[in-house]
Amino acid sequence: MSLTENATTEFKREYTSDISKTIIAYANTSGGTLYIGIDNDGNAFGVADIDSTMLKVSNTIRDSIKPDVTLFVDYQQETIDGRAVIKIIVQKGSSCPYYIAIKGIRPEGVYVRQGASSVPATETAILRMIKETDGEKYEDVRSLNQELTFVEAAKEFKAQSISFGKSQQKTLGLLNSDGIYTNLGLLLSDQCVHTVKLAVFEGTSKAVFKDRREFTGSLLKQLNDIYEFIDRYNRIRSEINGLRRLDIRDYPPESVREVLLNALVHKDYSFSDSTLISIFDDRIEFVSIGGLVRGITFDDMMLGISIARNRSLANVFYRLTLVEAYGTGMPKIMRSYDNFAAKPHIEVTDNAFKITLPNINEITEKVVLNENESAVLDLFKEKDFIVRKEIESALEISQAMAVRILKGLVDKGKIRIVGAGKNTRYLLNK
């Protein structure tokens, strides 16, 4: 019988553990047949102990290759030129790329057929195979790094009294059905490759740096570290009114929290660029990669309509009580500025999302009041709250004029409205 090696046929004179490279290459390419007991010239030498060798082969394939390729491998005994040989038939697998378990999903672990040889796959070829198998959704795709640890994530789950074993990781999507880490696992792991860069500037331009940091590690660690860092720059302005003291932060903590969560949960992680945060004297800017999810308009977003770009990541944050129902973040951000003249500003492009939080205290200090507005604020020196009729009487003005003055003070962030209808009252923002 005349046989020659080619793209789908390979010979091994005897069993060696590196047959896994050939099996992987066939499973990743177009399938093929491997003979054990035939030399490179096609001469049959045979296998002395068929049963023992076949057991070694099957064990090697089962234990050294990931994902499980055994469903695509068939073992047969054949007689060639009167000698018993082992014939291993490999079909193209459905979970490419297959790789040597101890090497991981990288060129030294992934092989493809090139002519009559099994050669390491390029990183581009590996990424193409992953995309073809796992689809377009980043968080569901297998991570190129399978040596992941979850020290920080485990702390967060433990703090919420939530189990974080292998079964829970599968349920959440950190592991796929083959027990292989996904990109969601990568994002939550201590080895996460995505970072956030933060810079603090002097004044209102980017001319002079005061401080800069790059936050790394699990997204859960980054979330805590970034919030703590921003909090150090979220100054407090205190005012005394009579016996009462009121502390006002530069930025409502709720707005900082929600914007930061939005930047991490909705970023398009298929891009490697870092999320950027810039702190100025009068504002904080958050810029993340990824515009609005397809099908959602700017107006939809402002109404609270939301489609999660990273649904599994959002679910993890939900389980950890970091986020509530989808679509609540943006309304919360806007409501936190209800009683102030300055409002958050949002800019969206096809590939980026930017939200700017104005410094409440910086803006408030620059607010100019007219004579009537100052007179209304004087009324609060003796009262905790006022009603519209008190203003009409004190200033001897019409109802319409009183309404305009009150609206102006609300817009300038000096007072806020409590109640409605006959129970409407106005309180001072101290």
Residues of the chain with CATH 3.30.565.60: 196-364
- Fold assignment, 196-364: Heat Shock Protein 90 (3.30.565)
The CATH superfamily assigned to 9-133 is Schlafen, AAA domain (3.30.950.30)
Query: Bridge-partner residues for 104, per DSSP?
Result: none
> Quick check: pTM over 0.75?
no
Q: Which two structure tokens, joined as six digits, stand for 154?
A: 């485990």
Q: In sequence order, what are the residues at sequence separation of 6 or more whose Cβ sits closer than 8 angstroms to the Cβ of residue 246?
A: 238, 239, 429, 430
Residues of the chain with CATH 3.30.950.30: 9-133
Please report the pLDDT score of residue 337 as a whole number. 87
Helices (H), 135-286: 151-159, 166-172, 183-188, 219-233, 253-265
Residue 268 to residue 324: CA distance in whole angstroms: 20
- Fold assignment, 367-428: Arc Repressor Mutant, subunit A (1.10.10)
Per-residue pLDDT of the chain (430 residues; tens, 9 = 90+): 567 889 999 999 999 989 999 999 999 999 999 999 999 888 999 999 999 999 999 999 999 999 999 999 999 999 999 999 999 999 999 889 999 999 989 899 999 999 989 999 999 999 889 888 877 788 998 998 999 999 999 999 999 999 999 999 999 999 998 899 999 999 999 999 999 999 999 998 888 999 999 999 999 999 999 999 999 999 887 766 555 666 788 999 999 999 999 899 989 998 888 999 999 999 999 999 887 777 667 677 766 666 778 999 999 999 999 987 555 678 888 888 887 778 899 888 878 889 999 998 886 555 567 888 888 888 888 888 899 999 999 899 999 999 999 988 887 778 888 888 888 999 887 6
Q: Which of 79, 86, 74, 77 has the alpha carbon at shortest distance from 26?
A: 74
